[in-house]
């Protein structure tokens, strides 16, 4: 039985993270990964006409679903075309994993045809950007990239030379458990109690709700309704804390 390739291992890890579509343009150094997607029934290759579209599509999917999305570009201009969409995704805090396929590993640093330096190129539009130079390195780098994209809500970029993608994956490569959703972050009880006292003592309250309230629309609306309702005022006078009644742990 043929051994699993690095490209197949890459795709398998994507599937484990919940990625079900990989947007890109087929060709050149990216072919091993595209073929690995073809053989994996749990993920679809979404062919686009331009890599920029692939990055924007992944960013849109991530913003609509709140989950990790992925795109890919071949070596040279292929992955360079991803940059506009990745900037947009990163500034929008969309969790996107980009594969920047690369020239043959033995040619890196020789001014080879279409050579770029992805690890430098994508620094400003990613939380994490690293080059894989050995099959043993791939699982750990990819899993780290996933954790950065999900945990910090932005872009991660993995640069993978085509020849490395075609090599057999190491049999005992480290593949740890993946966290595929952001943890819930909330203020401590002491700060919430202080806010409750301030709100209860105020005659008028105006709510300015920004990104920190993402995912808590219903709770925010209930809180706003409570602050202006006669029932809320009565319960406050009766010693019942309306703010504590509607407290939520949603970020």
Residues 143-155: tens digit of each pLDDT: 999 999 999 999 9
Predicted model pTM = 0.76
Task: Please give the sequence-ordered ranges of beta strands (E in DSSP) within 58-194, or none if there are none.
Answer: 69-73, 96-102, 128-131, 155-161
More reliable by pLDDT, 176 or 69: 69
Q: Among 52-61, 178-187, 236-245, whose mean pLDDT is lowest?
A: 236-245
Q: Tens digit of pLDDT for each residue in 211-241?
A: 777 778 888 888 888 887 433 344 444 444 4
Mark whether 118 and 38 lie in a shared domain.
yes
Which letter, b or e, does each residue of 141-150 get, where b requires 16 or more Cβ atoms within 10 Å of its Cβ?
bbbebbbbbb
CATH number at residue 44: 3.40.50.970
Task: Kindly state whether residues 161 and 56 are assigned to the same domain.
Answer: yes
Tell me how many domains the chain contains: 2
Asked if residue 222 and residue 99 are part of one domain, the reply reads no
Host domain of residue 76: 6-166
Q: Do residues 230 and 130 both lie within one domain?
A: no
**231 within domain boundaries:** yes
Structural domain contains residue 239: yes
Chosen domain end from 101, 131, 166 = 166
> Tell me, what's the pLDDT at 192?
85
């Amino acid at each position: 039985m043929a051994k699993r390739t690095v490209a197949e291992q890459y795709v398998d890890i994507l599937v484990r993270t919940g990625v079900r579509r990989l947007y890109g343009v087929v060709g050149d150094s990216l072919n091993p990964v595209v073929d690995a997607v073809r053989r994996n029934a749990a993920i679809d290759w979404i062919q686009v006409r331009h890599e920029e579209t692939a990055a924007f599509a992944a960013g849109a999917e991530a913003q609509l679903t709140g989950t990790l999305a992925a795109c890919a570009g071949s070596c040279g201009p292929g992955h360079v075309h991803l940059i506009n969409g990745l900037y947009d995704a990163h500034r929008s805090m969309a969790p996107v994993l980009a594969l920047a396929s690369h020239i043959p590993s033995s040619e890196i640093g020789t001014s080879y045809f279409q050579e770029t330096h992805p690890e430098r190129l994508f620094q400003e539009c990613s939380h994490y950007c690293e080059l894989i130079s050995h099959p043993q390195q791939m699982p750990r780098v990819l899993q780290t990239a996933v954790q950065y994209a999900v945990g910090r809500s932005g872009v991660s970029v993995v640069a993978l030379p085509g020849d490395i993608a075609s090599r057999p994956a190491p049999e005992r490569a480290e593949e740890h458990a993946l966290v595929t959703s952001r943890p819930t972050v909330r203020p401590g009880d002491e700060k919430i109690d202080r806010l409750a006292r301030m709100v209860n003592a105020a005659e008028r309250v105006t709510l300015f709700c920004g990104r920190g309230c993402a995912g808590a629309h219903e709770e925010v609306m209930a809180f706003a309704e409570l602050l202006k309702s006669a029932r809320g005022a009565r319960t406050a006078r009766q010693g019942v804390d309306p703010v504590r009644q509607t407290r939520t742990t949603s970020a």
